[in-house]
Amino acid sequence: MSEKHDEKNHEPFIKDWTYVQKEELNAESTTGKTISYWQDVRRRLRKNKLAGGSIVVIILILLASTVGQTLTGKSYDAQQLSLRNMPPVIEIQTAEDGTNFYIHQDLKVFLTDQHGFITDEIPPVSASLADKLFTYEYKGKTYNLSFSGEGIKFEDENRQPLPEKRKIWNKNYLLGTDSIGRDLLTRLLYGGRVSLLVAFLVTICTLVIGVMYGGISGYYGANLDIVMMRLVEILMAIPSTIYIILLMVYFGQGIYNILIAMALTSWLGMAQLVRGQVLSLKEQEFILAAKTVGVSPLKIILTHLLPNCIGPIVVSATLSIPGAIATEAFMSFIGLGVKPPMPSWGILSNEGIGAIRSSPYQILLPSIAISLTMFAFNFLGDSLRDAMDPRQRK
Amino acid sequence: MTVDKLLEVNNLRTSFFTFSGEVQAVRDVSFSLNRGEIIGVVGESGSGKSVTFLSVTRLLSESGKIVGGNILFEGEDVTQMPTLKLRKLRNNQIGMVFQEPMTSLNPTLRVGTQIIERIKAFNKRISNREASKRAEQLLEMVRIPEARKHLNSYPYEMSGGMRQRVMFAMAIACNPKLLIADEPTTALDVTIQKQILKLIGSLRDEINTSIILITHDLGVVAETCERVVVMYGGMIMEEGLVDEIFYETAHQYTVGLKKSIPDVNKVGGTRLFSISGSPPSLIDPPKGCPFTARCDKAMRVCVNHCPPYFQLSPTHRSMCWLLDPEMPSNLAVESVQ
Amino acid sequence: MLKYISKRFAMMVITMFIIITATFFLMRAIPGGPFSFDRALPPSVEEALNAKYNLDKPLIEQYFDYLLSILRFDFGPSYVYFGRTVNEMIADGWPDSAKLGIASSILILIFGVPLGIVAALNQNKRPDRAIMVISTIGVVIPSFVLATFLLYFFSVKLEILPTFGVDSWKGYILPTICLAVGPICGITRLSRSSMLDTLSQDYMRTAESKGLSRSRIIVVHGLRNSLIPVVTSLGMTFAALLTGTFVIEKIFAVPGLGRYFVSSITNRDYTAVMALTILSSAIMVVAVFIIDIIYMLLDPRIKLYDK
Ligand SMILES: Nc1ncnc2c1ncn2[C@@H]1O[C@H](COP(=O)(O)OP(=O)(O)OP(=O)(O)O)[C@@H](O)[C@H]1O
Ligand SMILES: [Mg+2]
């Protein structure tokens, strides 16, 4: 018997020839404890910063749109026509005697206190459209407002600009007012409530209808399944926006109507998803066992099948929320959604788009709100899916 | 001894770099293959057989890296080969047949196209007519009936056994010097398995290549091969001529494998033996012999020290502490029983 | 093959029939006829109008009349713009919509798939990361929100592009981009994941083991297989873009079909609403049919599945 040692085994060591017990070895070799699937998901979700950020943003948005509107102290449909199109940030000009003026782009002159709180509007004492010059008097002094080609100028009696100009936050209306003088902040918050409410309710309807339909179709299979899924296929062939539009033309504008129209059209994908899941699960042994023992089908679906396909369902539901927000906004935007004066983010966008030149904040604010919410829900949904993807599990 | 070596693998180490860490799939593997030789590589699932031979043609997935050692094919180091040379090597030096016949063929291309593209890859002068004639010939060689017709078939129109035959036809299309068949029969049913094995035998006679046959099944090896490499936990446990492995078994793992060969003589006999326990983690591989945890004769030395190879004959080596001449003889006697 | 096509064709016809029927009865079911305006018409006038438009006939008869006229591609007169037919108005609006649709479809074709492939081939490297971040944003953001941001930036702040109208070619730029961004990003993500999926398939390793060139492996083996799932999405997108889009046409004041659709809804021009619904659905359904045929050409297995 010849013996050849490898290079690395040169180092001498004491060879211990005693036997070891299997138990001893196995105790050594089992490394770490096994963690359950959901613990694993939670752990991975917690590691994901994007998911955490999204959850924070979503909570803030939910808080703002549920309680926020009561804190502003204004109502979403109270109009203050004299204070319309007020931007969130105003430029105030201070005269030598300390009077603060705010000159609105619609050629209106307002008095403000030094914090930017608008107290009064002063009317011109004389107005000459031909010279493009308005004259104002306040506390014994005369001011001129000219609006020739170079833009709007507000000057004192000697046609000199006022000594001090500064930009300041609008204290009356933190986010300004719309074209008929309603508080945009309140409308934005209330609009968020409407948009989110619609989105959540539609998602719940999607879940209920989709899970029932898909569950029944998948569970009973055979001919029932074929008929039910053919129906879904045909309905899916109709472009869903057109389908919603038709329903809305039929129902007319209104929050409940848009809810119903969207719920009626959004469950198809969920039904297909659930059916697929149920189909792949129902042949598994624990289901077959439950069947042979004679557990009722409803109970099998609810207690055995659904919990085992809850992952994809949750992901799909999370991702359907931003979809619903977009659809509602879209429908309201083309005038077939929520009925004004009730605001939703789509309505606000619709109202704001016309003033994109003169008052861009009116369209930008709801746009930002929509984007932010949709990003948050999408990232959360994506992170959930990544966390649950068993292929990544190692 | 100057037998012409076709393939020589020295201290090969291959790892996969995954999220959960470095998976050391192949740890210090060395062996060589002579021209015209047919060897078998056996081992349980996960023992690193596929990874070893994917390393030989550098077909590892993105995360897999050869981290050490070299692979000499006709004296040239494959690990250092530039791309074009490597492609030529793959094209007409080494043919590979993979373990999954159902998914290894492109589902949207005709079988003929998939064979012809190999023939034409480095042989621009060959005409389409000649290439398809050659493809037809190849299909005949792998005993596919109505070869001409099947050139125009899609893989989905064929059975698993037929697809595996197509894989063989594709592998030998450019007269490779080496044919690597990675568990060509695992996914097929028993009768088809027999046919494929017969095919491998006849191919060797017809085109005179060296063959490496990877399998789970020592029985298959006994029928087909001259030499056997037994792998476990990313290492070679034992290597030797077929007779040596079967009649002078030196490693406890091989003993276990041998017991799990179904005995054809005992019809409806006892339950198939299988080694209890499962293979070690390759992310954090054991310090000692990888088989220790499942070995009936594990000793303390096995736990902490990897045994060297003990050369039992010029062609037979094995890494097991039981072979160490320093071992007290009373224990040795006990272990033979 | 013929069986497959005829089956799909039958499916298409049935779907269209259901859509037409549903649309017709939904429209007829709306409370108040098409001529019950806010200010009520004198009964005699309304009766005369109803007679003129055959609305006094039994519903079933109207339905079959409508079916027949649709078979002749005749969508009937407009209820709001007296003396004009819906066909004329469609002919007016469609060119503008189609121009926008074709322009954005071209953009989608140029950028969508290639970006996805580039990302997939550089998985987890810098180009992939950049493409993924941008395309995620682009997919999520609704087109009208994107439109407002672009309008604000390019037309209001920089004043280099017109705010609305398509009088000059410049007017087409923003709407085309707004229409294209979402689909480009969607297609990019889809083709990336599809390509990644294909790249991990066993047959790609087989192709590599044959010593083929990388370009052949990617184009012949990778692209074709990874395009199969992308085709549906591309086809549906093109079809949707072709019939005009409500929001973008409204925002940019493009006198296209989409805007006409919206205005006919607000004006309660029922024949127009029906016509446009049916038209858009028809284009969509035909697109699905064409997609199915392309599918069959790309993936020989389809015939098998469909048995
Ligand atoms: N792409 C990969 N990423 C990570 N680990 C891998 C990868 N491919 C293989 N491995 C690991 O490498 C080890 C060896 O795998 P290999 O495929 O070589 O086994 P095998 O002996 O061929 O088994 P089988 O008989 O099942 O084919 C396994 O533990 C496997 O988990
Ligand atoms: Mg293998």
Q: Domain spans of chain A? A: 89-169, 184-392
Residue C38 sits at the chain B interface (C-beta within 8 Å) = no
> Phi first, then psi: what are they for A202, rounded to 5°?
-60, -40
| Interface check B324 vs A, CB under 8 A | yes
pLDDT given at position A294? 80
Q: A157-161, A366-370, B41-45, C246-250 — which is least confidently predicted?
A: A157-161
Q: For residue range A297-306, what is the model confidence (pLDDT) as tens digits? A: 788 877 777 7
Residue B221 lies in a domain: yes
The domain boundary, picked from B230, B249, B279, lies at: B279
pLDDT confidence of residue A59: 94
What's the total number of domains in chain C?
1
Distance between CA atoms of residues C180 and B271, nearest Å: 65
Do B170 and B78 have their domain in common? no
Out of A108-122, A341-355, C202-216, pick the least confident: A108-122
Q: What is the distance in angstroms between the Cα of A38 and the nearest Cα belonging to chain C?
A: 26
Select from A143, A139, A109 the least CA-distant residue to A123. Answer: A109
As given in the structure block, the two tokens for residue A182 are: 């309603």
Are residues B181 and B266 both part of a single domain?
Answer: yes
Does any domain span residue B22? yes
Is A374's CB within 8 Å of C262's CB?
no
Looking at residue B179, its pLDDT comes to 93
How much is the pLDDT for B304? 83
Q: How far is CA A334 from CA A341, A353, C97, C166, C264, in A?
A: 15, 11, 17, 20, 12
Q: For ligand 1, pick from B23, B53, B54, B231 the residue to mutate: most ligand atoms within 8 Å of CB.
A: B23
Q: What's the rounded Cα separation, in Å, for the pair B333 and B319?
A: 19
What would the mean pLDDT of A312-338 be, rounded to a whole number?
88
**Interatomic CA distance for residues A351 and A366, integer angstroms:** 10
Q: Give residue C112's pLDDT.
A: 92
What's the B201 CA to ligand 2 centre distance in angstroms?
A: 21
Residue C264, token pair as written in the block:
């006919």
Asked whether the beta carbons of residue A333 and residue C145 sit closer than 8 angstroms, the reply is: no
Q: Output the domain CATH number for residue B249.
A: 3.40.50.300
Q: Which among B256, B279, B302 is the end of a domain? A: B279
- Which residues of A touch chain C, with CB atoms under 8 Å apart? 234, 237-239, 241-242, 245-247, 249-250, 322, 326, 329-330, 333-336, 349, 352-353, 356-357, 360, 363-364, 367, 370-371, 374-375, 378-379, 382
CB-ligand 1 contact for B137 (6 Å cutoff): no
pLDDT for A68: 81
- What is the distance in A from the centroid of ligand 2 to the CA of B214? 8
Q: Does residue B251 share a domain with residue B157?
A: no
pLDDT, residue A369, reads 92
Domain that holds residue B141: 103-174
Same domain for B115 and B234:
no
**Residue B16, ligand 1, Cβ within 6 A:** yes
Residue A42: predicted pLDDT: 82
- Give the tens place of pLDDT for each residue, C108-146: 999 999 999 999 999 888 999 899 889 988 988 888 889
H helix intervals, A221-296: 222-237, 240-251, 255-282, 285-293
Q: Is residue C172 in a domain?
A: yes
- What would the pLDDT profile of A216-265 be if each residue is shown by its tens digit? 898 888 889 889 988 888 788 777 887 788 788 888 889 999 999 999 88
Co-location of B127 and B162 in the same domain: yes
Give CATH for domain A184-392: 1.10.3720.10
pLDDT at A64 over 60: yes
Over range A42-57, report the average pLDDT.
Answer: 85
Highest mean pLDDT among A162-166, B49-53, B189-193: B49-53
Closest residue (by CA) to atom 17 of ligand 1? B50
B239 and B256 co-located in one domain: yes
Read off the pLDDT of residues C39-50 as tens digits, 9 standing for 90 and up.
Answer: 566 777 777 777
> Between chain A and chain C, how many beta carbons pairs sit less than 8 Å apart?
99
Q: Tell me the pLDDT band of A150, cut-offs 50, 70 and 90.
A: confident
- Ligand 1 atom nearest residue B60's Cα: 1
Please give the radius of gyration of chain B, using alpha carbons only, rounded to the nearest integer.
21
C221 to B106: CB separation less than 8 angstroms, yes or no? yes
Q: What is the pLDDT of residues C137-177, one digit of tens each?
A: 898 888 888 988 888 888 888 877 777 776 777 888 889 99
Looking at the structure, do residues B147 and B195 belong to the same domain, yes or no?
Answer: no
Q: Inter-chain contact B98–C205, Cβ cutoff 8 Å? A: yes
Q: A58-67, A379-388, C105-114 — which is least confidently predicted?
A: A379-388
Does the C-beta of B114 come closer than 6 Å to ligand 1? no
pLDDT tens digits, one per residue of B187-227: 777 788 888 888 888 888 888 889 999 988 888 888 889 99
User: If you measure CA to CA, which chain B residue comes closest to C295?
Assistant: B108
Which pLDDT band holds residue B231 (cuts at 50, 70, 90)?
very high
Name the domain count of chain B: 2
- Between residues C49 and B282, which one has the greater pLDDT? B282
| Ligand 1 atom 26: residue of nearest CA | B45
The domain spanning residue C228 has which CATH number? 1.10.3720.10
- The pLDDT confidence band at residue B264, using thresholds 50, 70 and 90, is low
Amino acid, single-letter form, for residue B17: F
Share of chain A above pLDDT 70, in %: 91
- Shortest CB distance from A335 goes to which of C136, C142, C266? C266
Tens-place pLDDT, residues C39-79: 566 777 777 777 777 777 788 888 888 888 888 888 888 87
Selection from B337, B294, B323, B300 nearest residue B44 by Cα: B294
Q: What pLDDT was estimated at residue B265?
A: 53
**pLDDT range class, residue A137, cuts 50, 70, 90:** confident
Distance CA(A327)–CA(A333), nearest Å, equals: 10
Q: Is residue B190 part of a domain?
A: yes
C247 touches chain A (CB under 8 A): yes
* pLDDT score of B333: 44
Nearest ligand 1 atom, CA B279: 29
From CA A342, how far away is CA A348, in angstroms rounded?
10
User: What is the residue with the minimal CA distance to atom 18 of ligand 1?
Assistant: B48
Q: Is the CB–ligand 1 distance for residue B170 below 6 Å?
A: no
- C197: domain range? 86-255
pLDDT at B328 over 80: no
More confident residue, B122 or A172: B122
Q: In what order do the strands lie in the sheet with B21-34?
A: B21-34, B5-18, B64-73, B76-77
Tell me: the pLDDT tens digits for B160-175? 888 999 999 999 999 9
B61 within ligand 1 shell (Cβ under 6 A): yes
DSSP 3-state assignment of A19?
strand
Same domain for B162 and B150? yes
Higher pLDDT, C15 or A370: A370
Q: What is the pLDDT of residue A120?
A: 83
Q: Which 8-state DSSP code applies to residue C135?
A: H
- If one counts every other C-beta atom within 10 angstroms of the C-beta of residue A224, the result is 12
- Across all residues in chain B, what is the average pLDDT? 86
Q: What is the CA radius of gyration of chain C?
A: 24
Q: Which atom of ligand 1 is nearest to the CA of B49?
A: 21
Closest CA to C279 of C93, C49, C56: C93
pLDDT score recorded for residue A46: 82
Q: Which residue of B has its CA nearest to C221?
A: B106
Q: Do both B34 and B163 map to the same domain?
A: no
Average pLDDT, integer, range A365-370: 91
The whole-number pLDDT of residue B288 equals 85
* Residues from chain C contacting residue B117 (CB–CB below 8 Å): 210, 212, 216, 220
pLDDT at A390 over 80: no
Ligand 1: which residue has its CA nearest to atom 8? B51
CB-based contact, C237 to chain B, within 8 Å = no
The answer to whether A188 and A175 have CB atoms below 8 angstroms apart is yes
Mean pLDDT of all residues in C262-290:
84
What percent of chain B lies above the pLDDT cut of 70?
93
Cα separation of B100 and B163, whole Å? Answer: 10
- In chain B the first and final C-alpha atoms are separated, in Å, by 37
Token digits of residue C180: 């294209």
Interchain CB contact of C13 with A (< 8 Å): no
Asked whether residue C52 is assigned to any structural domain, the reply reads no
Is there a domain that residue B23 lies in?
yes
Q: Would residue C209 count as lying in a domain?
A: yes
Q: Which of B303, B306, B325 sits opposite A1 (nearest CB)?
A: B325
Of the partner residues C15, C29, C156, the one whose CB lies closest to the CB of residue A357: C156
Residues of A in contact with B292 (CB under 8 A): 20, 25
**Rounded to an integer, what distance in angstroms lies between the CA atom of residue A103 and that of residue A214?**
61
User: What is the mean predicted confidence (pLDDT) over B107-119?
Assistant: 92
- Residue B302 placed within a domain: no
Question: How does B43-61 read in b/e, with b if 16+ C-beta sit within 10 Å?
Answer: bbebbbbbbbbbbbbbbbe
CA torsion angle for A373, A374, A379, A382 (degrees, to 10)? 140
Q: Region B238-247: what's the mean pLDDT? A: 92
Q: What mean pLDDT is predicted for residues A127-145?
A: 81
In terms of DSSP H, where are the helices of C200-301?
202-209, 214-216, 224-242, 246-251, 257-266, 270-298
Of the residues B174, B191, B215, which one is the last residue of a structural domain? Answer: B174
Residue B187 lies in a domain: yes
Q: Does B293 reside within a domain? A: no
* pLDDT at residue number A25: 63
Q: What is the pLDDT of residue C162?
A: 76
Report the pLDDT value the prediction gives residue A40, as an integer from 0 to 100: 76
Hey, which chains touch B, using 3+ CB pairs under 8 Å? A, C
Is the pLDDT assigned to residue C28 strictly greater than 90? no
Does residue B15 have its Cβ closer than 6 Å to ligand 1? no
H or E, element range at A372: helix A361-388
Which residue(s) pair with A122 in the sheet? A109
Predicted model pTM: 0.81
Rounded CA gap, B141 and B147, in Å? 9
Checking if the pLDDT of A6 tops 50, the result is: no
Helix A361-388 vs helix A184-220: crossing angle, to nearest 10 = 30
**Could you tell me if C64 lies within 8 Å of chain B, comparing CB atoms?**
no
Whether the CB of B45 sits within 6 Å of ligand 1: yes
The pLDDT of residue B337 is 39
Here the tokens at position B146 are 């109505």
Taking only the tens place, the pLDDT of each residue in A178-215 is 888 888 898 999 999 999 999 999 999 999 999 889 98
CB A130 within 8 A of CB A147: no
pLDDT, residue B95, reads 93
| Mean pLDDT of the residues in chain A | 82
Nearest Cα of chain C lies from the Cα of A17 at a distance, in angstroms, of: 46
Q: Which ligand is nearest to the CA of B45?
A: 1
Is residue B146 domain-resident?
A: yes
Distances (CA, A) of B109 to A166, B154, C87: 72, 6, 46
Give A373's pLDDT tier (boundaries 50, 70, 90).
very high
| pLDDT value of residue A2 | 38
Q: In a mutagenesis test of the A interface, which of C25, C28, C135, C140 is the best target, namely the one with the most A β-carbons within 10 Å? A: C140
pLDDT value at position B186?
Answer: 76
